[in-house]
Amino acid sequence: MIRRVLRLTTGRIAFGILAAIAFLAAFGPLLAPYDPLEGTTDILANPSGAHPLGTDYLGRDVLSRLLDGSRVSVLGAVQVALLALVVGVVPGILSVYFGRAFEWVTLRLADTLIALPFLVFAVAVTALLGNGIPQAMFVVGVMVSPLFYRVARAATLSVARSQYVEAAIVAGASVGWVVRRHVWVKVLPPIAVALANTTGVGFVVVSSLTFLGIGVQPPAPTWGGVLAADLGYLSFQPWAPLVPTALIMATVWACNLLADAIRDVTGEAGRALLNTRKLDPGKVTNGSPVAP
């Protein structure tokens, strides 16, 4: 599937941006020219040769903080999305097949999570499990999982009663076979879209938790954290929030592009599009001749 995504221009752009961001996450902390935590007297400086992106309200080099924070930010968002994927998608698909009781319980759980006030839940979990990045990611992942649950369940329901699934059942297919062979492909595109969205939401939520002192602890930099700090000094450096915003936006945008590309190459329409490009026009309508 990755090869097919790469055949689309949107897919290539998305992969390019995501690769750059992955590079930042992997090597960003090593590339930082200054210690991201060390303050200087040169506060709120404008960009210069020494500080390409200026300094913040404690005189810390913004470029270093962004580079150093990229790992925590990206990993955090990815963790949130993957946790939500596992916690949401698996029960979402199984709720269609595992009988009434399982369906009822998971549906009510999803409703409860949607109804639960986010911050109260976050505070309760940190009180229970202690404060830390994994706990914060866990909270956010669980809180957004109902989205995945609902999307996966809706996509599965639309396939479960289709005739080709019945045909597979008549051929002796088990639930596992039906899910692997027929359901999964239909569930994947909407899930990819939800995943891309959630990754974006993850960035924002992780930084808002940082603001409350949950998860990433204040001196440690994150993209969201840098953005939050910049907003406080808008009158001194009105341009400053643009840099972390651009990073977050590029990531979310690339995720959305990737989601679109996945949707285009899965689904029937996408396959047909790619196939007609590959075939020469004269061969598209071959096969046995149609009787006059």
Partner 1 sequence: MSLEVSDLDVHYGRTRALRRVSLSVAPGQTLGVIGETGSGKSTLARAVVGLVRPSAGRITVDGEEVTRYRARQWRALRRRGVVQYVFQDPLRSLDPDVTVEDSIVEPLLIQGRPRREAADRARRLAARVHLDEELLSRLPGELSGGQRQRVTVARALVTDPRVVILDEPVSALDAANRVRALELLKQLRDAGTALVFISHDLGSVAGVADRIAVLYQGGIVEEGPARTVVNAPRHPYARLLVGSAPTLRSAAADRAQREELRELLQNIGGPA
- Maximum pairwise Cα distance, the chain: 88
Q: Does 65 bind partner 1 (CB under 8 A)?
A: no
Contact 222, 33 (CB under 8 A): no
Could you say which of 75, 173, 220, 228 contacts partner 1 (CB under 8 A)?
Answer: 173
Q: Which is nearer to partner 1, 46 or 275 (CB)?
A: 275
Report how far apart, in Å, the C-alpha atoms of 130 and of each of 78, 122, 133, 139 are: 21, 11, 10, 12
The 147-166 site mask, x for binding partner 1 (CB under 8 A), equals ---------------xxx-x
Determine phi and psi for 55, rounding to 5 degrees: -125, 165
The Cα–Cα gap between 165 and 42 comes to 67
Does position 280 interact with partner 1 (CB under 8 A)? The reply is no
Q: How many Å apart are CA 187 and CA 149, to the nearest integer?
A: 11
Q: Which of 101, 268, 277, 278 binds partner 1 (CB under 8 A)?
A: 268
**Do 171 and 154 meet the contact criterion of CB atoms below 8 Å apart?**
no
Nearer to partner 1, 19 or 167 (CB): 167
Distance CA 140, CA 256 (A): 20
Q: Report the nearest approach of partner 1 to the CB of residue 256 (Å).
A: 23
| 182 lies in the binding site for partner 1 (CB under 8 A) | yes
Among 1, 50, 167, 242, binds partner 1 (CB under 8 A): 167
Q: Which of residues 98-137 bind partner 1 (CB under 8 A)?
A: none
Q: How far is the CB of 276 from partner 1 (least distance, A)?
A: 9
Residue type, 278: K
CB of 166 within 8 A of CB of 232?
A: no
Considering the complex, state which of residue 86 and residue 154 has its C-beta at the smaller distance from partner 1: 154
Out of 48, 174, 212, 218, the only residue in the binding site for partner 1 (CB under 8 A) is 174
Q: Which residues, 6+ apart, have CB-to-CB distance to 50 below 8 Å?
A: none
**Site size toward partner 1, by CB under 8 A:** 28
Query: Is 287 a binder of partner 1 (CB under 8 A)?
Result: yes
Least Å distance between CB 54 and partner 1? 51
The helix/strand/coil state of 218 is coil
By CB under 8 A, is residue 180 in contact with partner 1? no
Residue 165 CA: distances (Å) to CA of 19, 35, 103, 182, 267: 38, 58, 20, 7, 16
Under rule CB under 8 A, residue 275 binds partner 1: yes
Distance CA 93, CA 185 (A): 12
Q: Considering only CA atoms, which of 17, 85, 89, 91 is closest in space to residue 248?
A: 17
Residue 122 CB, nearest approach to partner 1 (Å): 39
Closer by beta carbon to partner 1, 46 or else 162:
162
User: Which residue, among 87, 67, 76, has the nearest Cα to 24 in the 3D structure?
Assistant: 67
Kindly state whether residue 1 participates in binding partner 1, applying the rule CB under 8 A.
Answer: no
Question: At its nearest, how many Å lie between partner 1 and the CB of residue 123?
Answer: 44
> Which residues bind to partner 1, rule: CB under 8 A?
162-164, 166-174, 177, 181-182, 185-186, 266-268, 271-272, 275, 286-288, 290-291
